[in-house]
């Protein structure tokens, strides 16, 4: 379940029924992609007073103001300044105390996202949510900054295989700049994403300690994601994001087709040569296969 921030309740009249709407501002963060693109994202959700997701888009528009009170030009997403999403997500995590991987069940979530290119400023951001019916609601979120400099975990280092019991073992290379920086608190989210016609539909979403460098998915859990993707008519892609502990900054690997992740990349640093870095990577993969 996503962490809740800055909740506002708004009594909303819809089709002769009055109920309270909770506007939950979930994130204000910077994102950097493996291809070099960078942008900022806000996300929020609407709940009723029983804390159930509102399952339809009730908005006419959203407006975001920076700490100087200036309206931010939100990026266009399919003709709107926001995107309403319905996704199905199965959450998991690694317990460092017990060494166990813990997985739940698929849950449906409904939420909104907006993107913008302007640099983030330290201070209070205001989000105004405009409904199709009724008065707009404004809620606030503090951006404390500054943004930590974190690297992208390259998809070139991904290697995924099945063991003899059809469990999934997915490994990747953790950048030295992260391992060597003891003052920087980060974690990784490893995802098996579902896409249909380039539309994101949900994922297996697992929290992993940054230093671990691998994911273990039991066969019964992997069967669930396979069954869900077949039900939705979606293809599976794997990707990682590295995030700071304050969740203000994230870096994203490319998403690559899961069925192509069993190939060993032989040019890890993309310098056109096969050198020491590539040799070490191949030795790690070979060592893992033999276990």
* pLDDT given for residue 13 in this prediction: 45
pLDDT band at 185 (very low <50, low <70, confident <90, very high): very high
Please give the helix or strand (H or E) that residue 93 lies within, else none. Answer: strand 83-95
Q: What is the pTM of this model?
A: 0.84
Q: What are phi and psi of 19, to 5 degrees?
A: -150, 165
* pLDDT given for residue 211 in this prediction: 93
Angle at the Cα of 37 from the Cα atoms of 129 and 108, rounded to 5 degrees: 45
Output 213 or 281, whichever has higher pLDDT. Answer: 213
Query: Which of 289, 247, 220, 226 shows the shortest CA–CA distance to 141?
Result: 247
Mean pLDDT (the chain) is 87
Please report the DSSP string for 119-161 in residue order: PP-SEEEEEEEEESSS--EEEEEEE--PPP------GGG-EEE
Cis peptide before 146 (omega within 30 of 0): yes
Place of tokens 């290379």: 173
Query: Which of 139, 184, 199, 143 shows the shortest CA–CA distance to 7?
Result: 139
* pLDDT given for residue 23 in this prediction: 86
pLDDT digits (tens, 9 = 90+) for 150-160: 999 999 999 99
* pLDDT given for residue 286 in this prediction: 44
Gyration radius of the chain over CA positions: 21
Query: Which of 258, 115, 244 shows the shortest CA–CA distance to 191?
Result: 258
> Which domains does the chain show, CATH number per domain?
7-85+110-143 (2.60.40), 155-290 (2.60.40.10)
């Amino acid at each position: 379940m996503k962490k809740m921030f800055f909740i506002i309740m708004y009594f909303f009249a819809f089709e002769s029924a009055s109920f309270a709407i909770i506007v939950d501002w979930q994130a204000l963060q910077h994102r950097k992609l493996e291809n070099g693109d960078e942008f900022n994202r806000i996300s929020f959700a609407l709940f009723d007073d029983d804390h159930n997701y509102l399952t339809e888009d009730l908005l006419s528009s959203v407006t975001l103001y920076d700490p100087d009170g200036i309206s931010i030009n939100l990026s266009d997403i399919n003709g709107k300044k926001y995107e309403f999403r319905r996704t199905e997500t199965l959450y998991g995590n690694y317990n460092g105390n017990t060494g166990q991987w813990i997985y739940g069940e698929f849950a449906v979530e409904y939420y909104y996202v907006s993107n913008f290119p302007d640099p983030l400023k330290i201070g209070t951001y205001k989000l105004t949510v405009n409904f199709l019916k009724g008065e707009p609601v404004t809620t606030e979120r503090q951006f404390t900054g500054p943004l930590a400099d974190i690297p992208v975990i390259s998809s070139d280092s991904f290697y995924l295989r099945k063991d003899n019991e059809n469990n999934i073992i997915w490994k990747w290379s953790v950048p030295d700049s992260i391992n060597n920086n003891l003052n920087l608190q980060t974690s990784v989210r490893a995802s098996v994403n579902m896409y249909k016609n380039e539309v994101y539909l949900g994922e297996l979403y697992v929290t992993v300690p940054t230093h671990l460098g691998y994911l273990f998915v039991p066969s019964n859990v992997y069967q669930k994601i396979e069954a869900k993707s077949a039900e939705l008519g979606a293809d599976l892609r794997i990707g990682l994001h590295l995030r700071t502990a304050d969740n203000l900054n994230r870096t994203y690997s490319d998403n690559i087709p899961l069925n192509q992740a069993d190939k060993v990349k032989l040019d890890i640093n993309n310098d056109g040569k096969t050198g020491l870095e590539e040799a070490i990577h191949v030795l790690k993969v070979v060592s893992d296969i033999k276990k």
